[in-house]
Amino acid sequence: MVSSMNRLDSLWLAAALALGLGVAPASAQQAGVTHRAAAGAAGAETPAGSRTAPPPASAQAGSNSSSPASANATGAASDDPEYEIGPGDVLAIDVWKEPEISRALPVRPDGRLTLPLAGELKAQGLTTEQLAAEITERLTKYIDHPAVTVMVQDAQSRRYNILEMVNHPGSFALNQPTTVLDAIAQAGGLRDFAHPAKIYVIRKVDGVEWRYPFNYDDVSRGLRPEENILLKPNDIVVVP
């Protein structure tokens, strides 16, 4: 009888302690751990002075972004009202009902082009709309109410460079979506003594150079797909 009472007292004591201590369910404890881990991750900082950054999501290979970087470069240039014309671009200039003036012209290395009646025009740094307005103003001296349309037919001013240990280093036109792996293939592949795990992309953003690491062997095996970013104009791929 005494033994039964002791067991009963022990059960009541255990229950009272559980209530008094406010023991939380296991799921709540797990949530607390998760919260602390998330808080720690949020507080993580890039080491001071580091210029290495993770690729922005909009520039990753396979992204569904509709930005010009992930679209065909020529089509993007034609559709982008903010695209700035540069040397090497081929422009389709159409003057309505004036076939003798309408034509496709390359922008010369000095950033200029010459159009009949309109004369020599500075195209570099202008949008297609701005250039069309300039041509329209000049043609009004000879044609009543000219209707001028300018489109980028071939965006050759958008280029990237690939350097060092590839078979054909140099400058390449960025006239279609191009990943780092694509760029290496277009440059003829890696040379025998290249360091495939030490490749990186240099990209200047707001005047600051950032390095994006690229491991050729891992990406080729389907690992680290986030490193196989889409290149942007003026990117430099360095293959040590």
Whole-number pLDDT of residue 116: 97
Q: Within a domain: residue 135? A: yes
| Statement to judge: residues 130 and 190 lie in one domain | no
Count up the domains in the chain and report the number.
2
Percent of the chain residues topping a pLDDT of 90:
60
Dist. CA 70–CA 67, nearest whole Å:
6
Domain boundary (128, 154, 180) is at 154
| Statement to judge: residues 172 and 126 lie in one domain | no
Mean pLDDT of all residues in 51-66 = 44
| Statement to judge: residues 63 and 161 lie in one domain | yes
Instruction: Give DSSP secondary structure letters for 153-214.
Output: EE--S-EEEEEESBSS-EEEE--S--BHHHHHHHTT-B-TT--GGGEEEEEEETTEEEEEEE
Looking at the predicted structure, is the pLDDT value of residue 28 above 90?
Answer: no
Q: Within a domain: residue 35? A: no
Looking at the predicted structure, is the pLDDT value of residue 103 above 90?
Answer: yes
pLDDT band at 53 (very low <50, low <70, confident <90, very high): low
Dist. CA 109–CA 112, nearest whole Å:
7
| Statement to judge: residues 180 and 62 lie in one domain | yes
pLDDT band at 94 (very low <50, low <70, confident <90, very high): very high
Amino acid at 236: I
Q: Average pLDDT, whole number, for the chain? A: 78
| Statement to judge: residues 90 and 149 lie in one domain | yes
Domain CATH number, residue 147: 3.30.1950.10
Whole-number pLDDT of residue 56: 55
Q: Within a domain: residue 76? A: no
User: Residue-wise over 127-161: b if at least 16 C-beta within 10 A, else e?
Assistant: bbeebbebbbebbeeebeebebebbbbbbbbbbbb
Q: Within a domain: residue 98? A: yes
| Statement to judge: residues 136 and 194 lie in one domain | no
Closest CA to 85 of 118, 114, 119, 128: 128
| Statement to judge: residues 188 and 139 lie in one domain | no
Whole-number pLDDT of residue 34: 35
Domain CATH number, residue 166: 3.10.560.10
115-150 pLDDT, tens digit each: 999 999 999 999 999 999 999 999 999 999 999 999
Whole-number pLDDT of residue 174: 87
Residue ranges making up the domain that contains 234: 57-67+157-239
| Statement to judge: residues 169 and 121 lie in one domain | no
Q: Within a domain: residue 62? A: yes
| Statement to judge: residues 145 and 167 lie in one domain | no
Looking at the predicted structure, is the pLDDT value of residue 58 above 50?
Answer: no
Query: Highest mean pLDDT range out of 15-19, 24-28, 70-74, 182-186?
Result: 182-186
